[in-house]
Amino acid sequence: METKEADIQREENIKAAYLVKLGLLSAVIVLMAFTPLGYLRVGALSITFLVVPVTVGAIVLGPFGGMVLGAIFGITSFVQCFGLDPFGTTLFEINPIFTFLFCIPTRMLMGLFAGLTFKAMSSSKKKGVRISSVFVTSALGPLFNTVFFMTVLCLCFYNTEYLQGFVTSLHATNPVSFVILFVGINGAIELAVNFVACSAASTAILSAESRKPSNGYVRTKVQTVNTDTKEKERER
């Protein structure tokens, strides 16, 4: 009976901790999205640091958590298209549906794939493998974001007059060369900053979790022993 109650308590503790982490990371995304912390606006394409909480969430919470956080990132990105970001606003005026597609589903896929990457690589419980999984996922998170974002952008808007203006100014000969030239140094900075920040944050969180009681079972058993002791004292 005690074991069953302890298992129920353990599951409740795990769910509560999961929701708390998801809520905190969601709040961080919203805060960053509407303050200078989230974007470094250089040229037409802004450098975003919102990939950090999404990738951290994908590592700590798993693929589903990463996808949910990616959706929140995407929603805040879509909101930017209502006059807050010139590039996004122009694309929204051209085609709102396509703008929705390159803002939200792409970020959801980024969070999902980052979570799946870490889950696949960290299946081994060896500490070295787990740490290397954090580093690889931290690097792939911003890369996934760029690849999905630019792929959908080109599929939906490459032939528009607005994007062709960038193609001409960059002397790009095809969509691949356009992506490389358009992302350029911004993409390299975004990858480097997100990799360092995400690796540090994820490693710290996972290390802190490893030092906690794994499931709340110990605390439940202690509480049960204390209750039994008190009852015996009353009987005396």
What's the pLDDT band for 200 if we cut at 50, 70, 90? very high
Q: From CA 117, how far away is CA 133, in angstroms rounded? A: 8
Q: How many CA atoms lie within 13 A of 85 on its CB side?
A: 27
3-state percent helix, strand, coil for the chain, nearest multiple of 5: 80, 0, 20
Predicted pLDDT at 207: 84
Token pair recorded at residue 52:
């950090």
Token pair recorded at residue 103:
């803002």
Helix (H, G, I), strand (E, B) or coil at 83: coil
Residue ranges of the alpha helices (H) in 34-125? 51-61, 63-80, 86-94, 96-103, 105-121
Predicted pLDDT at 44: 64
The CATH architecture of the domain made up of 2-219 is Orthogonal Bundle (1.10)
What is the pTM for the complete model shown?
0.82
Token pair recorded at residue 129:
């493998």
Long-range contacts of 165-170 (CB under 8 A, 24+ apart): 166/44
Over residues 161-179, the pLDDT tens digits come to: 999 999 999 899 999 999 9
| Percent of the chain residues topping a pLDDT of 90 | 55
